[in-house]
Amino acid sequence: MNRLQVRTTLPATLTAAVFAALVAGCSSSPTGPEQSGAPVESRTGVTPVVAGNVQGNRLPAELTDPKSILSKRSVYFDYDSFEVKAEFKDLVAAHARFLSANRQFKILIQGNTDERGSREYNLALGQKRAEALKKMLVLLGAREDQVESVSLGEEKPKNEGHDDTAWAENRRADILYSGEF
């Protein structure tokens, strides 16, 4: 007798494990499997699949503590520039050191641009920023396979405004650690 037959004939004997499996299998369906008309015997057990990180971020405190430089994740760029400015060198070096000391960690760098110009061209500009940051991290000790650089172009502005202040805020590359993306 499989689990689902147990459920349909002896609901009071449900174990917590079976219940969890059933919830995982039909949580989006307001009418349970019993109402669907399909033969109960044909159903097999349900193996819950967890997509992505549902546990929340369990990052070490040094990555999230506002007093730690590693909690700073954004590098800002000048207009039409991909150069990591001197003021961000300490921040980049700190992340490189962390990645070098913690090889199990991976990061995603998302490059961003302001809204002016072609969306696809801006996607490529954001990529250039992400790759400039990646290059520096790798030079300073991060391993190539710990860092993926991608671009969001102008699609996800941090500041939705349409002036110089907003644009400066959006010319940016962000560092996200595993579990944050």
Partner 1 sequence: MLRSLPERLLPTVLRRLSLIAAGALIAAQLALPAHAELTIEITGAGANRIPVAIADFGGEAGVARALTTVIRGDLERSGMFRLVDPGSAALSESSQPAWSDWRSRGADALAAGSISAAGDGRLEARFRLHDINRQSALGGAAFVTSTPMLRAAGHRIADVIYEKLTGEAGVFSTRIAYVVKGSGRYELHVADADGQNAQAALISREPIISPAWSPDGTRLAYVSFENKKPVIFVHSLASGKRTAIANFRGSNSAPAWAPDGRRLAVVLTKDGGSQLFVINADGSGVQRLASSSGIDTEPSFSPDGQFIYFTSDRGGSAQIYRINAGGGDAQRVSFEGSYNVTPRVSPDGRSLAFITRRDGAFRLAVMDLASRQTQLLTDSQKDESPSFAPNGRMILIATEVGGRGVLSAVSIDGRIRQRLSIPAGNVREPAWGPFLK
Closest among 15, 26, 73 to 48, alpha carbons compared: 26
107 interacts with partner 1 by CB under 8 A:
no
- Residues between 122 and 161 that touch partner 1 (CB under 8 A): 123-125, 127-128, 131, 148-153, 155-156
Nearest distance from C-beta of residue 149 to partner 1, angstroms: 6
* Rounded Cα distance, 107 and 20, in Å: 32
Element (H, E) at 170: helix 164-170
* CB nearer to partner 1: pick between 26 and 108: 108
* CB nearer to partner 1: pick between 4 and 136: 136
* Rounded Cα distance, 89 and 79, in Å: 19
Element (H, E) at 174: strand 172-177
- Binding stretches for partner 1 (CB under 8 A): 108, 110, 116-121, 123-125, 127-128, 131, 148-153, 155-156, 162, 181
